[in-house]
Amino acid sequence: MKAVVFHEFGGIDVLRIEDVPDPRPGPGEVLIDVSACALNHLDVDIREGVSRFPVEPPFILGLEVVGRIAELGAGVEGWQVGDRVMPFLMAHCGECRFCRTGRESLCTSAGFISFSTSGGYAERLACSTKHLMRVPDELPDPQAAALQIAFGTAWHMLFSRGNLRPGETVLINSVGSGIGSAAVQLAHIAGATVIGNASSDDKLARASELGMDHGINHSTQDVVTEVMRLTGDRGVDLVYEHCGGKLFQLGLDSLGKDGRLVICGGHSGEVVPFDIIPFFRAQKSVIGSFVYTRDEVEACLELARRGRIVPLVYRTFPLEEVAEAMATMERREQFGKIVLDTSADRDAAAEKRKETADEAARG
Ligand SMILES: [Zn+2]
């Protein structure tokens, strides 16, 4: 099969498109013909060797996969060749103290797609049936690939960790990102007042179409001043934070009394100073959030099936153009997700085979 492989950590130039042996489905596993794989910023960190996950090259990236089952391994029941599936990001042990208490995202021996299997920047992927989720017919492949991490993470942060309630006000940082725009949609349909910020007026305009009530341009406006103006000096109930650095600190300062800041990332500054006095006097909370649960993704799939939320795809690229796809993401211009459309490669290859066969038949 064709796959994007890197043999050493580094920039985009370490990516190679190679022919590698097809993965084989072991007992309890299936082989998936990948049709779409969404890109994530974590892919860049993994490629550069700064992810703080135990990853060694050679490596095939790709966490968010959609495809069809091509082959069943020994002992697989309940799944058929042709079933349209997406592998849930983690396979859980089901036995550790976290799995047994409904906190599966903290499983002590979780197997991640692309870490414990090969990744989705490839034509095929083998994984355990423990990962598999069915994809609703209503969702096209690229949209389905764009759903899981953005909406699963947003649901887990807003509702399970942040305990967002109808009538509350939430500040969502960087609404132009995949998880930012997903949070705007979920918070809006949950009945919260949504204040969002972004680096450009274009991104704010797009977020308004998704249900954002008030936008703040954080490159030209003072975030805390605007939040206080919009909330009558009360501050917000919840801050949805995934950036780190300055936006983390502005988020803390935007919280009202008893406010919560829920955080899942720190790309813009992973270590920050922290003013303890106003933090405890206003009884604020900082809450960490890590990935999401299968139930949460299934709830989002159902909302997407009913058209209540829309996974945003900025652009699709064939596997051959992976370098341009990653470069586009790294420029951070996009609103929504960038998706490798592997079915385009397969269709092109089939077309070429057909032309060759037609020529042979004529000749
Ligand atoms: Zn477990």
Predicted local confidence at residue 164, as pLDDT: 98
CA 202-204-208 angle, 5° bins:
120
Rounded distance from Cα 110 to ligand 1 centre (Å): 6
Angle between helices 178-189 and 201-209 (to 10 degrees): 40
**Cα–ligand 1 centroid distance for 116 (angstroms):** 15
Distance 271 CA to ligand 1 centre (A): 29
How many whole angstroms separate alpha carbon 230 and alpha carbon 64? Answer: 37
Distance 131 CA to ligand 1 centre (A): 13
Distance (Å) from CA 109 to ligand 1 centroid: 6
pLDDT of residue 232: 98
Q: Could you tell me the distance, in angstroms and rounded to a whole number, from the CA of residue 256 to the centre of ligand 1?
A: 36
- Measured over the CA atoms of residue 73, residue 74, residue 80 and residue 81, the dihedral's sign is positive
Question: Phi/psi at 140 (nearest 5 deg)?
Answer: -65, 160
In the reported structure, the alpha carbon of residue 215 is separated from the centroid of ligand 1 by a whole-number distance in angstroms of 40
Determine the pLDDT at residue 362.
77
Spacing, Cα 33 to ligand 1 middle (Å): 28
C-alpha 102 – ligand 1 centre gap (Å): 10
Q: What CA–CA distance (Å, rounded) separates 277 from 207?
A: 34
Nearest to 62 by CA among 111, 129, 19, 115: 115
pTM of the predicted model as reported, rounded to 2 decimal places? 0.93
Find the 154 Cα to ligand 1 centroid distance in Å: 22
Number of neighbouring beta carbons within 10 Å of residue 220: 9
Query: How remote is the CA of residue 51 from the centroid of ligand 1, in Å?
Result: 22
**Ligand 1 mean position to 294 CA, how many Å?**
13
DSSP letter at 105? G
Query: Judging by DSSP bridges, how do beta strands 313-317 and 285-288 pair with one another?
Result: unpaired
Burial class (CB in 10 A: 0-12, 13-18, 19+), 20: middle
CA distance 283 to 61: 42
User: How many angstroms is it from 91 CA to the middle of ligand 1?
Assistant: 9
Q: What is the pLDDT of residue 343?
A: 80
Query: What pLDDT is recorded for position 363?
Result: 65
pLDDT score, position 332: 82
Per residue of the chain (363 residues), what is the pLDDT tens digit? Answer: 999 999 999 999 999 999 999 999 999 999 999 999 999 999 999 999 998 888 999 999 999 999 999 999 999 999 999 999 999 999 888 899 999 998 988 999 888 998 889 999 999 999 999 999 999 999 999 999 999 999 999 999 999 999 999 999 999 999 998 999 999 999 999 999 999 999 999 999 999 999 999 999 999 999 999 999 999 999 999 999 999 999 999 999 999 999 999 999 988 888 999 899 999 999 999 999 999 999 999 999 999 999 999 999 999 999 999 999 999 999 988 888 999 998 866 677 777 777 877 787 776
The CA 96 to ligand 1 mean position distance, Å, reads 4
Residue 208 alpha carbon to ligand 1 centre in Å: 39
Residues 6+ apart with CB under 8 A from 363: none
